[in-house]
Amino acid sequence: MKILLIAGGWSTEREVSLNGARAMQEALAQRGHSVTFFDLLSGFDCLLETAAAHDFALINLHGAPGEDGLVQAMLERVGCPYQGSGPAGSFLALNKSAAKQIFRQAGLPTADWEFLPCAPEAGWQPRLPYPLFVKSNTGGSSLRMGRASNRAELDAVLASIFAAGDEVIMEPVLAGREVTCGILGEEALPPILIEPVAGDFFDYESKYAKDGAREICPAPISEALTSRVQELALAAHKALGLSGYSRADFILGPDDSLTILEVNTLPGMTATSLVPREARTVGMDFGQLLERLIELGMAGQARG
């Protein structure tokens, strides 16, 4: 199959995207595919022309463009099938404050939040109590994210995010550990329990540094709790209108409560990424996982 591998782009997660794409290109070539590596940063103006000459596109972009649905919408214009979710679901999942509204409407457990589309006026006070997690509303990989225990710390994180032109979402710090669960097709994969080696939360360094975190798969939790994680991950996937695959992140509280944080529509595909690790647990190597994503993408286009 003639595959267009779209990676790079110009978000803050460019290097993560490129690292994953290299592994994808090697695995696809080993399976006999003809792969065209396409860096969106330099090639955006010829995306449609290039995509029209390929059988399938594999998108390995993080942040915007990519997770915002733009590339997917463009590929649909020239009838080039691709893996994963369509433009609407991608856009809703990327926008954390929009996704949390959908989670809450669907009855899924999510923490309270406050959304700041721009720097607040003088005299503003946060509605939520400290300590707070402060994040870019559409960012990923835990970039431009900080924990604020007081107003001075909060102002510093807000200034950093607004200076980059991003919106802000704030949530209370929740006690517990992080659990993540991938969806492949209509099936939930075995969850992973994440324990950062250093620091209090799963930040950028923990995610992408070698041995930055202990990622235990299957998660050492009860069968009932495993089923609950999988049930909520699939429910979030469906509530957002996603297809193909996704990965939902949760906080597992000391009382075994689960709180959904966010859903990723283009989960990482680096050597240390989570969904490939979950797939290996059920006997699917990296190449087989990519083949399954292609199969699901082709089936999705056939359904129209």
* Cα 149 off chain centre by: 27
Answer for the pair 242, 111: CB distance below 8 angstroms, yes or no.
Answer: no
Distance CA 142, CA 162 (A): 16
Does the annotation list 150 as a binding residue?
no
- DSSP letter for each residue of 23-45: HHHHHHHHTT-EEEEEEHHHHGG
Strand 56-60 to 132-136 pairing: unpaired
Does the annotation list 262 as a binding residue?
yes
Does the annotation list 137 as a binding residue?
no
User: Which residues are part of the catalytic machinery?
Assistant: 13, 141, 273
How many CA within 13 A on the CB side of residue 110?
A: 27
For 13, 160, 223, the CA distances from 228, given in Å and listed in that order, are 31, 37, 9
User: Residues within the annotated binding site for Mg(2+)?
Assistant: 249, 262, 264
User: Residues within the annotated binding site?
Assistant: 249, 262, 264
